[in-house]
């Protein structure tokens, strides 16, 4: 049976809830309609999050983003709406949605929306020193 767009976001249990780890997803084929002209708007969505107890299931995310294809939305509205729905479904520690819309009228639009769980503090990032490769140290 063929898939069809859906507003339902499915989840699954976080396999490592004891750890803050970064989940990064790129959705390069997002489309919706301009609410003024009805013409299609195209965007690359980048989802970055740190799960708490739940992760978003990929096929449902694909069908969910597909559901906007025939809907008119301003860029700011659709970005925040998608973030709100993802936060509601997964209740993450942290989530950032970046929507990079292709040029329209000579203007590129990037919208970045974030959510932080109340009281959550990220661990400091660890930067490891890089060492020169052996090929660079030999004369």
User: Based on the structure, what is the number of domains in the chain?
Assistant: 1
Q: Using DSSP, how many helices (H) and how many strands (E) does the chain show? A: 3, 6
Q: For residues 134 and 137, give the distance between their C-alpha atoms in angstroms, rounded to a whole number.
A: 5
Query: Under a CB-based contact definition with an 8 Å cutoff, are residues 47 and 90 in contact?
Result: no
Instruction: Indicate left, alpha or beta for 109 from its phi (over 0: left) and psi (-120 to 50: alpha).
Output: beta
Question: Which of the residues 34, 48, 52, 85 is marked catalytic?
Answer: 34
Asked, for residue 13, whether it belongs to a domain, the answer is no
**Alpha-carbon torsion (27, 29, 32, 36), positive or negative:** positive
- Taking the model in full, what pTM does it have? 0.88
Decide if 33 is inside a domain.
yes
pLDDT of residue 135: 61
- Pairing assessment for the beta strands 94-104 and 40-50 based on DSSP bridges: antiparallel
The string of pLDDT tens digits covering residues 45-89 is 999 999 999 999 999 999 999 999 999 999 999 999 999 999 999
What is the pLDDT at residue 125? 82
Q: Are the C-beta atoms of residues 35 and 74 closer than 8 Å to each other?
A: yes
Backbone angles phi, psi at 125, to 5 degrees: -70, 140
pLDDT digits (tens, 9 = 90+) for 91-101: 999 999 999 99
The DSSP secondary-structure symbol of 15 reads S
Structure-token pair, residue 91: 């209740």
**Would residue 34 show up in a list of annotated catalytic residues for this protein?**
yes
Q: Which of 20, 32, 41, 77 is catalytic?
A: 41
* 41 is known as an active-site residue: yes
Domain span including residue 93: 21-119
Banded pLDDT at 2 (limits 50, 70, 90): low
- Cα 101 to Cα 32: distance, rounded to the nearest angstrom: 10
CATH number for the domain spanning 79: value is 3.30.1130.10
């Amino acid at each position: 049976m063929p898939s069809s767009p859906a507003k339902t976001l499915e989840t699954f249990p976080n396999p490592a809830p004891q750890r803050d780890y970064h989940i990064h997803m790129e959705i390069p084929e997002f489309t919706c309609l301009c609410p003024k002209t009805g013409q299609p708007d195209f965007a690359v969505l980048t989802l970055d999050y740190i799960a708490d107890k739940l992760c978003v299931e990929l096929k449902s995310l694909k069908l969910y983003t597909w559901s906007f294809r025939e809907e008119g939305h301003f860029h700011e509205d659709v970005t925040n709406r998608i973030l709100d729905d993802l936060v509601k479904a997964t209740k993450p520690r942290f989530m950032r949605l970046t929507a990079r819309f292709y040029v329209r009228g000579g203007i590129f639009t990037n919208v970045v929306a974030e959510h932080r769980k109340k009281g959550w503090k990220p661990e400091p990032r660890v930067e490891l020193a890089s060492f020169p490769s052996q090929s660079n140290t030999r004369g």
